């Protein structure tokens, strides 16, 4: 009598293993059974990841933004002038993460959306 539940559990486990081994469908781009597996990140010394091509932010040339309204055009120009990869507009009372990102420009604005501070991080 005990053999029946054990056999059922084993059969279900094998069914699940077979489904996982197959990848759940057809091979993607000829990658075989590993098509759905996450690829490892590129090595730090891989071509294209040198310090010369790494994007960093430089807020020094952004003094012109202080006091101006942070509209779409200003944000885009500030991003380009700073060389940053991303921009975060921080409004009064807005919750923000404390993580430091050297490729991110932060624009603090007041209640009228005028820039009060431009910094990287």
Q: Which domain holds residue 81?
A: 60-120
Same domain as 116, residue 65: yes
Same domain as 24, residue 75: no
Hey, which bits of the chain come out as E strands?
A: 86-90, 104-109, 115-120
Tell me how many domains the chain contains: 2
pLDDT digits (tens, 9 = 90+) for 28-53: 455 555 455 555 555 545 454 444 55
Report the CATH number that the domain containing residue 115 is assigned in CATH: 3.30.10.10
pLDDT digits (tens, 9 = 90+) for 99-113: 999 999 999 999 999
Quick one: pLDDT band at residue 25, thresholds 50, 70, 90? Answer: very low
| pTM for this entry | 0.56
Return the percent helix, strand and coil in the chain, to nearest 5: 35, 15, 50
Q: What is the pLDDT of residue 28?
A: 46
Same domain as 70, residue 28: no
């Amino acid at each position: 009598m005990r053999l029946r539940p054990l056999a059922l559990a084993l059969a279900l486990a094998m069914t699940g293993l077979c489904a996982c081994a197959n990848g759940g469908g057809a091979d993607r781009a000829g990658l075989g059974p590993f098509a759905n597996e996450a690829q490892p990140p590129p090595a730090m010394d891989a071509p294209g990841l040198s310090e010369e091509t790494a994007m960093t932010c430089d807020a020094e040339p952004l003094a012109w933004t202080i006091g101006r309204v942070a509209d779409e055009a200003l944000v885009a120009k500030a991003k380009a002038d700073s060389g940053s990869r991303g921009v975060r507009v921080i409004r009064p009372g807005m919750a923000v993460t404390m993580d430091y990102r050297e490729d991110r420009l932060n624009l603090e604005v007041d209640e009228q959306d005028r820039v009060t501070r431009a910094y990287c991080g």
